[in-house]
Amino acid sequence: MSDLDRKLNDLLAMSPAQLRALWRECWRRPAPTMAPNLLRRGIAWKLQSRVHGVLAAQSKRALDQAARRLRNGESITSIKSVSLKPGTRLVREWGGKIHQVVVLDKGYEHESRHFTSLTQVASAIAGAHWSGPLFFGLKKRSVPQRRIAA
């Protein structure tokens, strides 16, 4: 059992007074008035963040935006600022076959072939022109608005 695991496990047996003292030690301020279970969670988060780090502000904003979209019944794949980092794998089933694409520093790899754009990969898989981001579900298909005749 790691030191962190031991500390997290010890939280379960602590009294409210012990939790408040540990809160003060972890957060460097007096514990707020809250139930012991919430104090445990706040302390556990702080202990874990010291070992594993915290989420970057940009990631927090992206998660908040995705949660907001989901609550509104929207798709999260339609978020415009999709950024693919090298090493990311895109998977798509097409023609009864699973296709995997690896994002590289410069371009993409599919079936040991190098492509400079995701659209080239999608077109090679489908055998016809496709938008790469649309093909791999990174972008939502836009539906043209109908004009109502007056």
The end-to-end CA distance of the chain, in Å, is 73
Asked whether the predicted pLDDT for residue 57 surpasses 90, the reply is no
In a domain, 148, yes or no: no
Domain of residue 32 covers 3-52
In a domain, 93, yes or no: yes
In a domain, 23, yes or no: yes
Among the listed residues 101, 70, 74, 98, the one whose alpha carbon sits nearest the alpha carbon of residue 86? 101
19-45 pLDDT per residue, tens: 999 999 999 999 999 999 999 999 999
Mean pLDDT over the full length of the chain: 88
Asked whether the predicted pLDDT for residue 47 surpasses 50, the reply is yes
Asked whether the predicted pLDDT for residue 140 surpasses 80, the reply is no
In a domain, 64, yes or no: no
Q: What's the confidence (pLDDT) of residue 143?
A: 57
59-103 pLDDT per residue, tens: 888 889 889 988 988 877 654 556 788 999 999 999 999 999 999
Place of tokens 């296709």: 99
* 150 confidence band (pLDDT: 50, 70, 90): low
Number of domains making up the chain: 2
pTM of the model: 0.44
Counting DSSP H helices and E strands in the chain, the numbers are 6, 4
Residues 6+ apart with CB under 8 A from 79: 62, 65, 66, 69
- What token pair was written down for 93? 């089933």
In a domain, 125, yes or no: yes
